[in-house]
Amino acid sequence: MSMQQLTAVVREGTAPVHYFRGGAGESVLYLHHIAGMQGWEPALSELATKFDIIAPYHPGFGPSEGLDDVDNGLDLVLHYVDFLDYLGLQSVRVVGHSFGAWIAAELAALYPDRVSRLVLANPVGIWDEEIGGEDVFAQNPGKPTEVLFAEPQMRENLILRDGTVDPVEIYVQEMKDLKAAAKFLWPIPDTGVARRLGRITAPTLIVGSTADKFIPSAYAGVWKRHIPNSDIKTIVHGGHLVNLEQPSRFATVAGSWLIQP
């Protein structure tokens, strides 16, 4: 599968966006989770067999700088409107995962004509005290993303890649990503998005993962209640980073929703 690593300045004076683009077919904007991306991930590669996948790093995540360019959800939405304009795309399918699902939902609520179909996987942004969820920002230093996996040791395999990468560099990167997420989600991941979800017109699939400790799968039902034309799929044994844990399952669930007209 041919994949390109690209950068774009979407608005004058802002930091360049780093993004991947690969595959062919209908364009799909993939908005990544709270802990960034592990490069061109297997799930993206699989989705790219059917779609034109565009996967940007959010401002302040991964190699992207520009956290100072965005202060709130509206800034993030406009950042992605500018990005779509830059790419010359009027309306796209969107897969948002975790933190990215929050942005995807905001984009679909504020600009319904720019989002034709929507997948929200383990979406962040609604807080319910009864459901709760682990404090992703109060984890043991040195292994802060462990809690995002169904089994803690999966961090070793999937982020540290079985010890083949420098743990210090990875730790610095994890803290950079979590800092960027914290800017919008600290101290409780309630972004107020629930008030705006009723504006979404795109057919929406909400994905919950049964072993997600950060966003327990019970939240999927809350999201569904707020989004008019929506459905739920549950991934068994999936943690918050189900895209890394079960890439094929993740790609199949998202892909079979997006492939519909």
Partner 1 sequence: MKFHWFNLMPYPYLPEDFRQTHRSVWVDVDSRLYDPVKGHAIYNDYLDLLEFAADLGFDGIGVNEHHANAYGLMPSPALMAATLARRTRDVSIILLGQSIALYNPPTRVAEEMAMLDVISGGRLIAGFPVGTSMDTNYAFGANPATLRERYQENHDLIIRAWTDPDVFPWNGKFNRLRYVNVWPRPIQKPHPPIWIPGGGSVETWDFCAENNYNYSYLSFSGFKRGAQLMNGFHDRVRELGHEFNPYQASFAQQIIVADSEAEAKDSYFDHARYFFERCLHVYPGFADAPGYRTEATIRAGLKSQVGGVSSGGAVGKSFEQCVDEGFLIAGNPDQVTEQMEHMIKSLSVGHVFCLMHIGDMPRDKCEKSTTLFAEQVMPRLRHLWAEYEDHWSPKPLSETAEPRAIRQQAATGVRA
Positions in the binding site for partner 1 (CB under 8 A): 67, 135, 137-141, 144, 168, 171-172, 175-183, 186-187
- Report in angstroms how near the CB of residue 183 gets to partner 1 at its nearest: 4
Dihedral pair phi/psi, residue 234, rounded to 5°: -115, 135
CA atoms within 13 A on the CB side of 118: 33
Q: Rank residues 101 and 178 by Cβ distance to partner 1 and give the closer one.
A: 178
- Report in angstroms how near the CB of residue 190 gets to partner 1 at its nearest: 12
Q: Rank residues 111 and 137 by Cβ distance to partner 1 and give the closer one.
A: 137
CA distances from 121 to 38, 67, 89, 167, 169 (A): 17, 23, 23, 28, 28
Cα pseudo-dihedral 13, 95, 19, 261, rounded to 10: -100
Q: Rank residues 30 and 149 by Cβ distance to partner 1 and give the closer one.
A: 149
- Measure the CA–CA gap between 64 and 59, rounded to whole angstroms: 5
Task: For residue 49, give every residue at least 6 positions away whose Cβ sits within 8 Å of its Cβ, in sequence order, or none.
Answer: 1, 23
Q: Rank residues 154 and 182 by Cβ distance to partner 1 and give the closer one.
A: 182
- Report in angstroms how near the CB of residue 7 gets to partner 1 at its nearest: 20
- Report in angstroms how near the CB of residue 60 gets to partner 1 at its nearest: 8
